[in-house]
Amino acid sequence: MNDEHDALKACCAAAYHSSDVVALLLGDAYHPGGAALTRRLADALAIAPGERVLDVASGRGATALLLADEYGAEVDGVDYSPAATALAQGAARAAGLADGVRFTTGDAERLPYPDGAFDAAVCECALCTFPDKARAAAEFARILRPGGRLGLTDVTADTTRLPPELTGLTARIACVADALPLAGPTGYERLLADAGLRTTAVERHDDALLRMVDQIEARLTLLRMTAPARLHDAGVDLDAAPAVLAAARAAVGAGVLGYALLVAVRV
């Protein structure tokens, strides 16, 4: 047990789920690319009806529900936040999918499932926030059957070149400050390889990150006019936001920040 790590996870989970402002800014899917990129990931994983799929860091359940509804998978979702679990369970009931999708509160670094329980696992925009990524990757491999597939979509970053606006705790929770590069000795591919997961496909989706920055900017402008108190209560720093969003846009343009899809197979 590492108290500092547990505090970081709790802080991240609370930041996403303790108010509805994040949902107002991002919509149901808390990742760049939204449902379209989730479908792209599911197609790359060749998710088939009846397969057992785990969604790690399932948030409000958007990815898990899509995989059950459109791909016929039997899905489990796990998230650190009890509030997220409750919201996702409610969304499953509302969608008439509660029989095929279960949501559980748990830690990606200590997944509450037996070895080899799943045919596939997905994790969207969350590995970048986990304090012990090697442990999480080992957990992904453990819960997959041999030959099982892992699909990630995640922020990529050269953290040595991030501007000051994109470092620190808030930037870490916003999936930026502790993201990894795709390749190289500290990259996602190496992390997965060290856990026994061989990367078979990689796609760049940096444009999805730019669209998310545009969307947040537009919605912040609207909320500033219509609901400034909600932004204030949620701790959104409206004075700092323009510089942060501009820095994110510039970092994507400079190749310092991006978004990627990876598929790997448990060897």
Q: Which residues would be at the binding site for ligand SAM (CB under 6 A)?
A: 9, 12-13, 16-17, 29-31, 57-59, 62-63, 79-81, 84, 107-109, 124-126, 129-130, 175
User: Which residue from 248, 266, 255, 126 is spatially nearest to 181, judged by alpha carbons?
Assistant: 255
- The Cα-based distances of 263 to 7, 227, 253 in angstroms read 30, 40, 25
Q: Which is nearer to ligand SAM, 13 or 177 (CB)?
A: 13
216 CB contacts (<8 Å, ≥6 apart)? 25, 26, 245
Residue 239 and residue 136 in contact, taking contact as beta carbons nearer than 8 Å? no
Q: Which is nearer to ligand SAM, 59 or 258 (CB)?
A: 59
Q: What is the rounded CA–CA span in Å between residue 75 and residue 149? A: 14
> Which residue's Cβ has the minimum distance to ligand SAM?
59
User: Which residue from 37, 11, 28, 36 is spatially nearest to 155, judged by alpha carbons?
Assistant: 37
Q: How far is the CB of 109 from ligand SAM (least distance, A)?
A: 6
Q: How far is the CB of 117 from ligand SAM (least distance, A)?
A: 17
Q: Which is nearer to ligand SAM, 62 or 143 (CB)?
A: 62
Q: Which is nearer to ligand SAM, 58 or 156 (CB)?
A: 58
Q: How far is the CB of 225 from ligand SAM (least distance, A)?
A: 26
Q: How far is the CB of 147 from ligand SAM (least distance, A)?
A: 24
